[in-house]
Amino acid sequence: MTSFAKQLLDWFDQHGRKSLPWQTDKTPYRVWLSEIMLQQTQVATVIPYFKKFLDRFPSVDELSVATEDEVLHLWTGLGYYARARNLHISAKKVMAEHNGEFPATVDELMTLPGIGRSTAGAIVAICHDTHAAILDGNVKRVLARHFAIGGWPGKTQTQTLLWDKAESLTPNNRIAEYTQAIMDLGATVCTRSSPDCPACPYFKSCHARINGTIDQYPGKKPKKVMPVKSTVMLIVALNGNVLLKKRPSKGLWGGLWSFPECESVEAIDSLLQSLNLEELERTRLPEFRHTFTHYHLDIEPIRVTIRETNRIAEPGAEIWFNVTAPQSVGLTKPVTKILAELPAIRVR
């Protein structure tokens, strides 16, 4: 075992986290679920979602037979919804192609949607104590600072250097604990801002600390000007219900329910006509901006109260959503925000 691994494990024995929900009763299903939820999301945010998800889907077979709406509903608010869709698809593949048992190798796990090299490595290492390296955001930060590996980790050259280092440092015993330890160190000590260097087991050997260059590692992603797009969201209101449409499975907000949209206020009449609805009253609601990874979306919500109609929502594509007794479906974040404000606005 390298001195790097020994120092980390000694630190973990005293200071590591050992009682997180997915660390008790470790199974590939529970570890897989936690690893997917923890992608780009902090532990404190994940814990209540993890518990709620397990209460509803305690096993992979129960997840596999769920509807997409059930899965997305429990994911609402956690963001990056492609993770939930891939989770659902992977559960079906585990049942259909692996007899309900998760593969035990990195290569096999990577054939499941949403599982990359690092996530697969974490599942193998934590569940089977088998040699497999990981390289999530926390690990990248620890390694980049300790060994002064410059450059943005998204670049192939930098990523290759980090993977080589991660592979060479992963020990051949206590692998599960080492894997948890290096994630813990990045999450609790070697944090993105204000790292607690005196508490770090590598205080004396970290190149970035010694050289006073901690803020330079990992390298920053080159900045790009974020484009701005705009849309009008139509809150079609009738007797305490609002009309929601299901978005296509692929693409932006895939599989989630959202308000009908059009490009501009001038296009509202045409949209209502296509929906075969007659307007009684129109109200502009406060505009707001929703930011995605690659662009900003300026949203102008318009509430339209309509005349009583016998129009039936198209099954599977539309629902009349009850604002006071909401159905269990997955909603986009802007819809959740607007719905939270509707009681004060009064939907008639």
Q: Which residues are catalytic?
A: 35
What are the CA-CA distances from residue 250 to residues 17, 90, 128, 155, 259 (Å)?
37, 16, 34, 27, 17
299 bridge partner residues:
231, 288
Q: What is the CA radius of gyration of the chain?
A: 24
* SS3 sequence of the chain: CCHHHHHHHHHHHHHCCCCCHHHCCCCHHHHHHHHHHCCCCCHHHHHHHHHHHHHHCCCHHHHHCCCHHHHHHHHCCCCCCHHHHHHHHHHHHHHHHCCCCCCCCHHHHCCCCCCCHHHHHHHHHHHHCCCCCCCCHHHHHHHHHHHCCCCCCCCHHHHHHHHHHHHHHCCCCCHHHHHHHHHHHHHHCCCCCCCCHHHCCCCCCCHHHHCCCHHHCCCCCCCCCCCEEEEEEEEEEECCEEEEEECCCCCCCCCCEECCEECCHHHHHHHHHHCCCCEEEEEECCCEEEECCCCEEEEEEEEEEECCCCCCCCCCCEEEEECCCCCCCCECHHHHHHHHHHHHHCCC
Question: CB–CB of 196/265 below 8 Å?
Answer: no
Dihedral, CA atoms, 167, 172, 173, 174, nearest 10 degrees? 10
